[in-house]
Structure 1
Amino acid sequence: MMAGIVACVVLLSLGAACLARSRSQHLSVETLLVADRALPAPMLFILTVGEIYSIGSIVAFPAGLYTHGISYGYWFLGYLLLAFPVGYFVGPAIWERARRYDACTVPEVFGRYFGSVVFERLTAWGCIAALVPWGQFQFIGLRATLGMMGLPGAPAAGLAACAVIAFAYVALGGMRASTYVAFLKDSLMLFGIAAVGVAAICAQYGGTGTYVAHPVVFRQPAVTDMVFAVSTIVYQGVGFYFQPSVTPYLFTARSAQAVRRAMVFMPLYMLMYPFAVFATYFAIRSLPPLRDVNGVFFHVAGMLLPPWVVALVMAGAVLAGLLVLAATSLNIAAMMTRSIMPRLAHGHPRRAINLGVILFLVLALVATAHAPAIMLTALNVSGYVGIQFASLWFVVLLDRPVPARVAGSGVVFGAVTAIALFASDLSVGGINPGFMGLLVNCAVVFCPLWRRKRVT
């Protein structure tokens, strides 16, 4: 029954993508990548939170809380709360720069601002390096979800089907199709997380749960834990909307005012996280130790809810992974065909983008089957790379006369610093390595300007 309900929901999502295709008379490249820059505030809101509240909200967040305790929740929730007011101010400015330069991808904004095709190509490679592990992570989350469903032939056949469906979203309507699917996905995720959280509360305080003191969750966080949490909140909160995995969604808005209105309602989605916390605490207190911590949320759902509700929870998680996977693969393919190898797309740009999507999905599928542990490590590294592009956005938004070589050097030095600190496990007072990298990055980019001003 569970597999049948999930299959019906996925088919319904394909119907939503077909509806999006019917609303577009001509599926141009601009329609495919930025939805003709025509999304009103409600649709932009749904599309953007589709990226923020991905499959990690059900898989990674409960797993991190279960493993690392309350200090994990501090920075995870804290940076999202900071990101929304930052996005309220920088989001409209990012949209305006994309419209000014007629850009459909992040590297196109940088290349046209700095007036350098080479710089556009190099930043495209950097953005792809940050995006590939993020798309890969969606496959890892989908594999965990399919494994909990106990489907025969999973994960290989199930993941192959997921790749086909993600490509169908892109081929049918691009970003606009993702918006229509996001309506269905968000409804299921909100319902599922709230249902599991409420059931966990009722079970725990109704006397069915057995209290077990958990040393990780209930210990007082160390000073270094709090330093890491605060530095991560500042680093990821300020840099969140400058990441290449998030910024392109802002390009789809109808106007700068639409971006601003969408940002006003972003904090409403934080209401789901307390329910995920309740579900995780129930697992800690009432369930035996779990080997696969990625399935914490699903274990609680299976214990407390009827099968058909669990199936809807699973369906919401599957759609979340598919939605972000489709958007990420589209973004990567667009940068490959428009910035890195534009000659291959000459005459048939839409066909080249679709081929790029297929290539990424196939390679990511193979990597999931053979090197999942490596890709999980790469996911951490990609975060350190992605937010380093914030310095370039600072230059663009402030309209500062920084040479392309200086701006690029800042990104490189910042990423190398963050990755080196992470790889060597060297702690600088507990400060997030990415935050240290961003400080080095901004110092390289902006210090020459200060020296120049002093000389003049």
Structure 2
Amino acid sequence: MATIVFAILIALSLVLAVAAKKGHATTSVRDFFIASRQFGGFLVFFLSVGEIYSVATIIGFPGSIYAKGGAFGIWFLGYILLAYPVAYFVNPLIWRAGKLYDAVTIADLFKGHFKNHAGGRVLELTVTITAITFLVPWGELQFGGLIVALGGLGWHISPAILVTFAAALAFFYIVISGIRAPAYVAILKDVLMMVAIVVTGGAALSQTHLSTIFHAAGPLASSHLTAPELRFTMSTIAFQAIGFFMLPFNTQNLFTAKSEQTIRRMQMFMPLYMVMFPFLVIVAYYQLGTHAHLSAPNGAFMAAAVQLLPGWMLGVVAAGASLAGLLVLAGISLAIGPLVTRNLFGHVPERKQRSLAQIVILLYLAFSITLTLLAPTLLVTIQNTAFFGFTQFFPGMMAIMFFRRANPLAIAAGIIVADVLAVAFFVMKVPTHDFNIGAVCLLINVAILIGGSLLAGHQQVMPVALRRTAAVPAAGD
């Protein structure tokens, strides 16, 4: 029964993807990748939430509490909550910059702002290569979660076949109607994921009292923070909160909106989704208290669902978790495609960018599948590593928004040095006095940007915060 329900819901998502194309010609690059900036608040909301609350939420969050204890939840919830007020002020300006510079990708923002100045192309390439590099582990994050979600259906199928099936579905969404398909399917995904989380958490509560769940898991789930853990937690919250919307696919989602006001309205309602996290914590503690020896921590949520829910409901849970991963995979792919065709190979004519981007997306999905099968790891560890790269865009983005004299070569140097040091510190386990590695490197990034801009000098460019979108009409408007 679980498989039948799962198949029906996945088929429904495919119907929604096809329906998303109705009345829209997705032949142009801008319509395919950013819906010609036509989405209202409703679709932007679901599209953005669909990318934020991914398979790492439903699978990775309880899995990490199961593996690392309750103190982990403080960091995860903290950075998401702090990210929302940051995004309320920053995201409308990102949309404004996208409109001013007719941007499709995050790299287009840097390209457009510094297009008449030496170093602009270097900065564009730096942002492009960094974005692509750190999007690869984010794809592995989704595939890893999909393997766990689909495994809960009891299929005796190899992981290679499961992830290939998932990649084919994600590619189908993309080919049918570009960014419109993930936006429409995200509505179904959010309903299913919320139901899956609340029902599974409720089922755990129905087995025993809340106090019993936490009492049983207490000896196994440390919920206090030592001084070193507190330093790491607080620095990670701050670091990832400002980098939350620097993810290339999140930035691209903002470009689909009609206006800045659409972005502001959407941001006001996004914290409502935090209602799911208490139920995820309950599931994680339930598993700790009753099944403290799972072979794979990432399987904590699905193991609870298999144990507690009837077959048909398990199909709903698996469908919600799977769509959460599939939509982010589609979003990542839609970000990588134009990054390669528009920014990495800047000479590609627009009429060929869409077809070439689809080839790039296929290659990306194949590479991510290979990486997932050869190097699986704890999902949230992958997420943390990816933030090392994405958050380094923040100083440069602030320079575009607010500063007149930022030097593009200084911005590029800051990103490169910070990325290299972050990866080197992580691999070599260099001590950073218990502060988040990425946060330490972000300070170095800022110092290079400011120092380099002061030393090199640069022709003034009016910051985006002082401009209006009507000042520079978008191409084709």
- Report the TM-score, using the length of structure 2 for normalisation: 0.90
Say if 2:293 is the partner of 1:289.
Answer: yes
Say if 2:291 is the partner of 1:300.
Answer: no
Work out whether residues 2 and 313 of structure 2, in 8 Å CA contact, stay in contact via their aligned partners in 1. Answer: no
Q: Residue 72 of structure 1 aligns to which amino acid in structure 2? A: F
CA–CA distance in structure 1, aligned partners of residues 23 and 114 of structure 2: 36
Once the two structures are superposed, residues 401-452 of structure 1 have per-residue CA deviations (whole angstroms, 9 ceiling, x without a partner) of 2221111111112222322332232333311111111111111112345679
Shift of 1:191: 0.5
2:474 is aligned to: none
Q: Residue 217 of structure 1 aligns to which amino acid in structure 2? A: A
Work out whether residues 58 and 276 of structure 1, in 8 Å CA contact, stay in contact via their aligned partners in 2. Answer: yes
Shift of 1:24: 0.8
2:41 is aligned to: 41
Shift of 1:376: 8.2
CA–CA distance in structure 1, aligned partners of residues 68 and 108 of structure 2: 40
Work out whether residues 243 and 390 of structure 1, in 8 Å CA contact, stay in contact via their aligned partners in 2. Answer: no
Question: In the TM superposition, what are the counterparts of 1:174-253 in structure 2 within 5 Å?
Answer: 174-205=178-209, 212-218=216-222, 220-253=224-257
2:414 is aligned to: 410
Shift of 1:90: 0.4
Give the fraction of aligned pairs with identical amino acids, expressed as a percent.
36
CA–CA distance in structure 2, aligned partners of residues 87 and 39 of structure 1: 18
- Structure 2: where are the runs of 5+ without partners? 458-477
Q: Residue 337 of structure 2 aligns to which amino acid in structure 1? A: A
- Structure 1: where are the runs of 5+ without partners? none
Judged with a 3 Å threshold, the aligned counterparts in structure 2 of structure 1 residues 346 and 38 are, in CA distance, closer, same or farther, namely closer
Question: In the TM superposition, what are the counterparts of 1:30-429 in structure 2 within 5 Å?
Answer: 30-115=30-115, 116-205=120-209, 212-218=216-222, 220-344=224-348, 347-373=351-377, 379-429=383-433
Work out whether residues 3 and 311 of structure 1, in 8 Å CA contact, stay in contact via their aligned partners in 2. Answer: yes
Decide which moves more: 317-326 or 142-151: 142-151
CA–CA distance in structure 1, aligned partners of residues 442 and 280 of structure 2: 31
Decide which moves more: 24-33 or 79-88: 24-33
Decide which moves more: 323-332 or 111-120: 111-120
CA–CA distance in structure 2, aligned partners of residues 144 and 280 of structure 1: 15
Judged with a 3 Å threshold, the aligned counterparts in structure 2 of structure 1 residues 37 and 211 are, in CA distance, closer, same or farther, namely same
Once the two structures are superposed, residues 119-155 of structure 1 have per-residue CA deviations (whole angstroms, 9 ceiling, x without a partner) of 3223211110111110121111111222222223332
Once the two structures are superposed, residues 89-131 of structure 1 have per-residue CA deviations (whole angstroms, 9 ceiling, x without a partner) of 0010000001000010011111121222343223211110111
Judged with a 3 Å threshold, the aligned counterparts in structure 2 of structure 1 residues 363 and 84 are, in CA distance, closer, same or farther, namely same
Residue correspondences, number: 453
Once the two structures are superposed, residues 373-407 of structure 1 have per-residue CA deviations (whole angstroms, 9 ceiling, x without a partner) of 49986654322011111111011111432221111
Q: Residue 323 of structure 1 aligns to which amino acid in structure 2? A: L
Once the two structures are superposed, residues 72-94 of structure 1 have per-residue CA deviations (whole angstroms, 9 ceiling, x without a partner) of 10110000000001100001000
Judged with a 3 Å threshold, the aligned counterparts in structure 2 of structure 1 residues 448 and 340 are, in CA distance, closer, same or farther, namely closer
Say if 2:441 is the partner of 1:437.
Answer: yes
1:18 is aligned to: 18
CA RMSD, Structure 1 to Structure 2 (Å): 2.2
Q: Secondary structure at the match of 1:189?
A: helix
Decide which moves more: 425-434 or 171-180: 425-434
Work out whether residues 46 and 179 of structure 1, in 8 Å CA contact, stay in contact via their aligned partners in 2. Answer: yes
CA–CA distance in structure 1, aligned partners of residues 141 and 214 of structure 2: 34
Judged with a 3 Å threshold, the aligned counterparts in structure 2 of structure 1 residues 26 and 239 are, in CA distance, closer, same or farther, namely closer
Judged with a 3 Å threshold, the aligned counterparts in structure 2 of structure 1 residues 126 and 346 are, in CA distance, closer, same or farther, namely same
Say if 2:16 is the partner of 1:5.
Answer: no
Work out whether residues 75 and 229 of structure 1, in 8 Å CA contact, stay in contact via their aligned partners in 2. Answer: yes
Once the two structures are superposed, residues 238-291 of structure 1 have per-residue CA deviations (whole angstroms, 9 ceiling, x without a partner) of 221123242111111110000000000010000001110011111111224211
Work out whether residues 47 and 186 of structure 2, in 8 Å CA contact, stay in contact via their aligned partners in 1. Answer: yes
CA–CA distance in structure 2, aligned partners of residues 360 and 165 of structure 1: 14
